[in-house]
């Protein structure tokens, strides 16, 4: 767990899996230094994939980043958990009459576009619940209990495509979709997970980086529980950015915090994702 600079990390690795929220974005806008830093990584000629627990698919994520001032040429794609989930569902070939309750942010329905599934507003009437995002900035956890507990008791399966336990919003930190899915499991529901730190999204990233050894890939993120734990389990090097979720943590508390959340320490620490 050594302090590092971004130029040094660029020199020492062959590919990069970089988180969005907490590294590039603060929940309201882009960090002012992040666009130049992403350009610097891309200028090395080494592949850059933005690995995100966003429940939205790749292109909506990429469009948002461009609108916030990032150059589209500075990253290969946004490999979001929403994109990985869409590919997973397309392989399952669910019948068109399958009723799906989809919960996302900003009215986004890209998680099921082109799959021929039928949307329902009633979780208890759904064959499958897809939790692609949290709306805990307007709904309380008690609201979620009233909404979802009946479906959990009936054994309706849930696919959580955004495992983040907390999310950054314009109003501060709020419970993420991962927190809601954990509650759903506690109410008796079955939950399948796609996104960091779970293996499927890292396996998909590996397919996009053929010929690069896992230990030459660096994961940069602000969450020990997601970015550090997931990257370590996939055999990658890891770097904790000191922005985002734990920006206020004291330096001396970082090792204990990482061990408590991830069970491992990051290989490197960056004060912020900046050149």
What would the mean pLDDT of 166-194 be, rounded to a whole number? 90
Classify strands 158-160 and 48-52 as parallel, antiparallel or unpaired.
Answer: unpaired
Residue 109 in this model has a pLDDT that exceeds 80:
yes
Residues 100 and 180 in one domain: yes
Residue 142 in this model has a pLDDT that exceeds 90:
yes
Q: Say if 231 falls within a structural domain.
A: yes
Give 247's contacts (C-beta < 8 A, 6+ positions apart): 222
Q: Is 124 helix (H, G, I), strand (E, B) or coil?
A: helix
pTM above 0.75, yes or no: yes
Q: Say if 8 falls within a structural domain.
A: yes
Domain end (from 130, 165, 193): 193
Domain end (from 193, 219, 246): 193
What would the mean pLDDT of 36-43 be, rounded to a whole number? 98
Q: What's the number of domains the chain is made of?
A: 2
Distance between CA atoms of residues 82 and 59, nearest Å: 11
Residue 22 in this model has a pLDDT that exceeds 90:
yes
Q: Higher pLDDT residue, 267 or 200? A: 267
Q: What is the pLDDT of residues 210-227, one digit of tens each?
A: 999 999 999 999 999 999
What is the span of the domain harbouring residue 103? 95-193
Which residue, among 196, 273, 268, 274, has the nearest Cα to 239 in the 3D structure? 268
Confidence of residue 87 (pLDDT cuts 50, 70, 90): confident
Residue 170 in this model has a pLDDT that exceeds 80:
no
Q: Say if 170 falls within a structural domain.
A: yes
Residues 257 and 169 in one domain: no
Look at 85-99, 117-131, 135-149, 216-230 and tell me which has the smallest mean pLDDT.
85-99
Give 70's contacts (C-beta < 8 A, 6+ positions apart): 24, 30, 34, 35, 38
Distance between CA atoms of residues 99 and 72, nearest Å: 36
Residues 181 and 49 in one domain: no
Confidence of residue 169 (pLDDT cuts 50, 70, 90): confident
Residues 14 and 63 in one domain: yes
Which pLDDT score is estimated for 92?
80
Residue corresponding to tokens 């602000």: 222
What would the mean pLDDT of 95-123 be, rounded to a whole number? 91
Which residues on adjacent β-strands are paired with residue 130?
Answer: 102, 159
Distance between CA atoms of residues 95 and 88, nearest Å: 14
Q: What is the pLDDT of residues 180-189, one digit of tens each?
A: 999 999 999 9
Written as six digits, the tokens of 242 are 């000191």
Q: What is the CATH number of the domain that holds 176?
A: 3.40.50.1000
Q: Say if 87 falls within a structural domain.
A: no
CB neighbourhood size of 262 (10 A):
23
| Alpha helices, H only, the chain | 6-12, 34-43, 58-67, 81-92, 141-153, 177-186, 199-207, 229-233, 254-262
What would the mean pLDDT of 97-102 be, rounded to a whole number? 94
Average per-residue pLDDT for the chain: 93
């Amino acid at each position: 767990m050594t302090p590092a600079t971004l130029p040094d990390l660029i020199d020492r690795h062959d590919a990069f899996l970089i988180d969005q929220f907490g590294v590039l974005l603060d929940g309201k806008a882009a960090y002012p230094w992040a666009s130049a830093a992403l350009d610097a990584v891309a200028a090395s000629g080494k592949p850059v994939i933005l690995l995100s627990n966003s429940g939205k698919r790749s292109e909506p994520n990429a469009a948002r980043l461009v609108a916030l001032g990032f150059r589209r040429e500075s990253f290969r794609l946004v490999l979001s958990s929403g994109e990985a989930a869409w590919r997973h569902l397309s392989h399952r070939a669910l019948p068109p009459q399958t009723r799906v309750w989809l919960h996302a942010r900003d009215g986004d329905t890209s998680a099921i576009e082109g799959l021929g599934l039928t949307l329902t507003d009633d979780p208890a009437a759904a064959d499958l619940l897809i939790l692609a995002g949290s709306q805990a900035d307007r709904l309380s956890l008690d609201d979620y209990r009233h909404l979802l507990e009946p479906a959990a008791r009936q054994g309706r399966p849930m696919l959580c495509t955004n495992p983040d336990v907390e999310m950054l919003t314009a109003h501060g930190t709020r419970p993420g979709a991962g927190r809601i899915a954990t509650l759903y499991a506690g109410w008796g529901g079955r939950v399948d997970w796609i996104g960091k730190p779970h293996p499927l999204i890292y396996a998909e990233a590996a397919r996009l980086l053929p010929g690069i050894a896992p230990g030459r890939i660096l994961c940069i993120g602000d969450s020990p529980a997601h970015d550090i734990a997931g990257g370590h389990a996939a055999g990658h090097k890891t770097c904790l950015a000191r922005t985002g979720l734990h920006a206020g943590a004291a330096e001396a508390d970082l090792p204990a915090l990482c061990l408590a959340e991830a069970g491992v320490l990051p290989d490197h620490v960056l004060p912020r994702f900046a050149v």
